[in-house]
Chain A
Amino acid sequence: MNNENIIEVENLVKKFGDFTANDNLCFEVRKSEIFGFLGANGAGKTTAIKILCGLLFPTSGKVMVAGYDVYKERNKIRKNIGYMSQGFSLYEDLTVKENIEFYAGIYGLKRTEIKTRFDDLVSKLGIEELKDKFVSDLPLGWKQKIAFSVAIFHKPQIVFLDEPTSGVDPITRRQFWDLIYEAVESGITVFVTTHYLDEAEYCDRVCIMAEGRIDAIGSPDELKSKYKSENMDEVFVKIARGTNKMNNK
């Protein structure tokens, strides 16, 4: 594994009024790894992702993404990342093709380039029949797979995926992970949040958040041996029990 860090976060704090969404986060993400971000809704995952994408300013702390500072170089960061938000990031009233052309256009890809990449994508996903359909007519699984392809269409260095497999059927969920593996092989770093604990096993390293803080960070194997657990499910339960005890004191 390449040890070069593509994301570095030191003492990140984000407050909304008197509510602390991110409480002194420190972590780094290495180049070409799958970094899993776990935790309940409201634990602060989405806020952290939005900061890393340059959609929100941190309250304090140092945050570097792809070598750029989120305070000063948001535009450069945006060119180097892809983002698939929770819910849909595709326009329902445009066709698959129109969606992709639109997003590729935003990132300034040339027409010929768009065409080649689009043809590649169509044959890779096998969506010859779907490419001229409206997104609103597609099943959820396809929407998610296509949204992911759109997010990495401009070949970013990092792609952020916010609960990409939430509510998707078991087959599509696995197909989606195949796409993630493929992206990693092509050198893209993947930053993903999920509620499925089996998916935590597929990450190179995971970070477990609760109430705005990081409770644990490491590879699934490291965490399993540290918490003497068989699987990530147990790790999760043990961490949560531990924090509950601390809170009760």
Chain B
Amino acid sequence: MKRFSGFLVKEFLHILRDRRTMLILFLIPIFQILIFGYVVKNEVKDAKIGIIDLSHDNVTEEITARLDAAVDFRVVREYQTYEEAEAGFRANEIKAVVVFADNFANDMGKYRKADVQILLDASDPNLANLINSYISVILNKYSAEVNKTGNSVIVSTEPRMWFNENLHSAYMFVPGTMALILMLITALMSSISIAREKETGTMEILLVSPLRPIQIILGKLTPYAVLSIVNVVSILVIGNVVFGVPVHGSWVLLLLVSFLFILLALSLGLLVSTLVKTQQTAMFISILGLMLPTMLLSGFIFPIENMPVILQYLSYIVPAKYFLIIIKSIMLKGLGLSYVINEVLILFGITLGLIALSVYKFKVRLE
């Protein structure tokens, strides 16, 4: 035990003294989450929209006022014709145009149905989709209110968005960033730190010492596990405080599942380190083999349903995919363990397999 604690002290000293490592450990998670939050935003805020109102009655004016009042939109101009609107799109004055048909209020009264057309600038399809659904939400709300009093229905283009009513992108990127950062820190950093000992030759001395392989492995991995927990908590706190991402489910469950994912990433890092001799290859393999799939194939950035079939199959072996499903269920839907037990078991199985494989592969000699 004394041997092991000495090892831990040394590992922490390494981490604390290396500015680069400290930077990767603590600044990058924060930067990453802020970057995803503010810069690579998929969110609609103050989108400029135009109106073509062929009816100009009290209903259309009421709806226009509501659109303008919503934080998401600003009604910047009213156009008389489609041609004018098209010119507006081209000049990049607006992202969308809401068209109210002739006799809008009358139709609503008579047929309990009125036509609203939404024209969108689809050159940015993601944004167009978002705006479309935002507008629909506002229209739906209005019709719901009218429904309470009268009995009208307005065209409903999209169903209501469950669990993410305003389609806040923070809800997507906080769990995704967490998966990415855990992969980065645990797998990348731990594999590099083991490879460094090989490169400098100190691994030779450790192997020749009475330390058992499992002590070397645990000594190398424990600090990163501890630091990763710190990161999980800070990401959740930033997500909650800055971006308002809730944790509806159990915090304990959330942390336990995160810890399972950390173990998985650590065993991946360990496996990488048994395969390589230099820090450079460790970094290369970790980034290409672990981080890119986590980013691209887990459903973090691109929805899995929209991927080509081959990539969809490939996504089944990306652990982050299961992790994302689990933590989204816990955080956003407030579900308990029984709802995500399959995914948890899959992660657990992968972790056990990886640990077994890398302990088996860890060499007690130099060859």
A and B directly contacting (CB within 8 A): no
Which residues of B are interface residues toward A (Cβ below 8 A)? none
